[in-house]
């Protein structure tokens, strides 16, 4: 039996000092058929450990519907880590942040209670049930039972959110009761208040930072006089949001900070080793006074890029690691260019015309009240006396296209803090509202989506709203089922239109779909939901993982919300994630 424990200055593996050199891979952001490839490349960079969060809302999007198969097969992921000869760190949250939808918390949970991440009894009941399910997978895979798991984290950067010690104690109790025997850790930014509030004396404190390593380790040591020093989130890159730039970090500077960490004898978890993708609608959002939804790519400027190719940072980090630990002689294959080609898009008709099919209530129903987990809800109301005027709404979450009698009159954006729009006279007022991503940080977790608060027209309340949820995945599937390979190409329609294209491949291949000549919407290949695209940038290409493609015929379905500028699908040979900061 192999043991793993905390020593006075080091982690101890079978009683011998051990430096953890880990990298983050989120299994839920990587196609399962590619897990083994990404894990192997981590070993080739010199890592001895893989870390992953567990996203509760990926496993249980609806209450009681627990899934640990396919994309959610955490057990298989950990087994692949073990088969590669690596250890594993598991961070089950329940809150993970991670720039992930709602910080990993299920919408059914956050919408049903006010006291999140606390010792409130109703919250603890749900969290305990969740953790027990995760630990059913993790416990038999601990290192002292012949598996790879060496550390388990309690909560996540809790000191930045709260200071409820009873909550942390309850999480520890359920964790130990579920048979977790490996050391338990917490992580916080190396700020005195956060380190004090975010942990307990019996938990091992670690830090999260991406620079000034010596200074941050000194702060950590002040709060924890003994035990191994560890940066369990070494930020080697950053994430992007729509309307921003593509963030990168200087390779030499990142490598120097990693060198300083390892030279100090500290253990490290590189966040991220391989970021992956926010496929589907899984992206989160930030709101620190301005709402900023995050892009589909989670490339993170990591050592392994979004498509799993080694970058300059991979080789720089490998060179640093080789100074402190054995590094395999083998190297991963260099990045290869993807097939480049273009195919015409054919219009497949309007896809958001859902007027008359929803339930009527005095006020618009939120996504949450409708139990709706997809991206869009359409709201329709009869205008009183068919009058126009100044339309005023308390808040739109997050982006609304407004029309009167089917004619577009404008948009209302949460990011722009829009609240008012002058509309013409007409019979029916319609909103098409998009949830652009749930906030994943701080105290806006779990906020409702849709049209929020009162809506007035020239100061008079507008009531009698029909609220119709639109499931974009189901719509795309239905369109694919109806399409034939010889579907006729029509005139370019206006407004939200579905488009399709067919293309042939000699073999299943990674692809990069260039969306620069489109406006805003969602793309699917062979039913696989690639994610969101938006001319707002910075991201220009969507990554198509090879397992989503097939030799022979393939089908692309695009659900465009505004206008296709050029009715062509361009596949390019490399990713284009946007301009970077100088």
* Residues noted as catalytic: 157, 233
Residue 155 φ/ψ, nearest 5 degrees: 55, -165
Torsion of CA 187, 188, 192, 193, to 10 degrees: -110
Dist. CA 551–CA 394, nearest whole Å: 51
H helix or E strand, kind and range, residue 127: helix 121-138
Per-residue tokens: 219: 């702060």
Dist. CA 45–CA 49, nearest whole Å: 11
Per-residue tokens: 372: 């709706």
Angle at 362 between CA 111 and CA 101, to 5 degrees: 25
User: 184 with 54: CB under 8 angstroms?
Assistant: no
H helix or E strand, kind and range, residue 537: none
Residue 445, classed as helix, strand or coil, is coil
| DSSP-assigned letters across all residues of 229-251 | -EEEEEE-S---BTTS-B----H
Pairing of strands 552-560, 520-525: antiparallel
Per-residue tokens: 223: 């709060």
Dist. CA 222–CA 224, nearest whole Å: 6
| DSSP-assigned letters across all residues of 259-309 | HHHHHTT-EEEEEEEE--B--TT-BEEEESSSEEEB-SB--TT-SB-TTS-
Beginning with the edge strand found earlier in the chain, give each strand of the sheet holding 460-461 in spatial order.
420-423, 389-397, 450-457, 460-461
Alpha carbon distance, N-terminus to C-terminus of the chain: 52
In the chain, helix, strand, coil percent, each to 5?
25, 30, 45
Q: How far is CA 126 from CA 119, 131, 486, in A?
A: 11, 9, 51
User: 400 with 433: CB under 8 angstroms?
Assistant: yes
Among candidates 517, 486, 469, 474, which has minimal Cα distance to 348? 486
| DSSP-assigned letters across all residues of 468-491 | EEE-HHHHHHHHHHH--TTPPP--
H helix or E strand, kind and range, residue 59: helix 56-59
Task: Give the distance, in angstroms, between the CA of residue 125 and the centroid of all CA atoms in the same chain.
Answer: 26
Per-residue tokens: 425: 């006279």
Pairing of strands 4-6, 11-13: antiparallel
Residue 523, classed as helix, strand or coil, is strand
């Amino acid at each position: 039996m192999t043991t793993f424990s905390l020593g006075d200055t080091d982690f101890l593996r079978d009683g011998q000092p051990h430096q953890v050199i880990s990298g983050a891979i989120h299994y839920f952001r990587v196609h399962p058929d590619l897990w083994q490839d990404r894990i192997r490349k981590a070993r080739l960079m010199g890592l001895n450990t893989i870390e992953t969060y567990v996203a509760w809302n990926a496993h249980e999007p609806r209450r009681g519907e627990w899934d640990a198969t396919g994309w959610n097969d955490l057990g298989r992921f950990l087994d692949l880590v073990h088969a590669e000869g690596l250890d594993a760190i598991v961070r089950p949250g329940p809150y993970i942040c991670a720039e992930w939808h709602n910080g990993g918390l299920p919408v059914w949970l956050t919408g049903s209670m006010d006291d999140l991440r606390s010792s409130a009894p109703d919250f603890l009941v749900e969290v305990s049930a969740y953790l027990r399910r995760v630990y059913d997978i993790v416990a038999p895979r601990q290192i002292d039972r012949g598996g790879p798991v060496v550390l388990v984290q309690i909560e996540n950067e809790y000191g930045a959110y709260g200071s409820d010690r009873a909550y942390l104690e309850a999480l520890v109790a359920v964790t130990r009761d579920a048979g977790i025997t490996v050391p338990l850790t917490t992580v916080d930014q190396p700020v005195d208040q956060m380190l004090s509030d975010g942990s307990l004396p019996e938990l091992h404190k670690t830090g999260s930072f991406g620079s000034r390593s010596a200074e941050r380790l000194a702060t950590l040591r002040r709060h924890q006089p003994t035990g191994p020093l560890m940066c369990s989130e070494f930020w080697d890159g950053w994430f992007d949001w729509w309307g921003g730039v593509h963030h990168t970090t200087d390779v030499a500077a990142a490598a120097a900070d990693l060198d300083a960490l390892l030279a100090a004898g500290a253990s490290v978890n590189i966040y991220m080793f391989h970021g992956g993708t926010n496929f589907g609608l899984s992206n989160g959002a930030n709101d620190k006074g301005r709402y900023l939804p995050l892009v589909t790519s989670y490339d993170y400027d990591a050592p392994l890029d979004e498509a799993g190719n080694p970058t300059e940072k991979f080789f720089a980090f490998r060179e640093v690691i080789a100074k402190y630990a054995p590094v395999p002689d083998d190297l991963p294959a260099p990045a290869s260019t993807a097939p480049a080609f273009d195919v015409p898009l054919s219009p497949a008709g309007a896809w958001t015309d859902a007027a008359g099919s929803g339930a009527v209530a005095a006020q618009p129903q939120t996504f949450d009240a409708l139990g709706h987990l997809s991206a869009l809800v359409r709201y329709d109301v009869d205008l009183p006396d068919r009058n126009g005027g100044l339309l005023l709404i308390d808040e739109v979450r997050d982006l609304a296209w407004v029309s009167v009698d089917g004619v577009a009159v404008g948009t209302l954006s949460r990011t722009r803090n829009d609240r008012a729009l002058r509309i013409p006279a007409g019979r029916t007022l319609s909103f098409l509202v998009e949830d652009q991503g749930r906030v994943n940080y701080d105290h806006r977790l779990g906020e409702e989506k849709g049209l929020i608060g009162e809506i007035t027209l020239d100061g008079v309340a507008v009531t009698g709203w029909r609220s119709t949820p639109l499931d974009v995945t189901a719509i795309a599937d239905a369109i694919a089922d109806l399409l034939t390979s010889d579907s006729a190409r029509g005139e370019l329609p206006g407004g939200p239109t579905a488009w399709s294209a067919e293309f042939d491949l000699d073999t299943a291949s990674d692809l990069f779909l260039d969306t620069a000549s489109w406006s805003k919407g969602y793309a699917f290949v062979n039913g696989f939901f690639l994610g969101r695209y938006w001319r707002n940038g910075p991201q220009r290409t969507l990554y198509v993982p090879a397992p989503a493609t097939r030799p022979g015929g393939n089908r692309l379905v695009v659900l465009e919300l505004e206008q296709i500028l050029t009715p062509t699908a361009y596949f390019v040979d490399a990713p284009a994630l946007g301009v970077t900061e100088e």
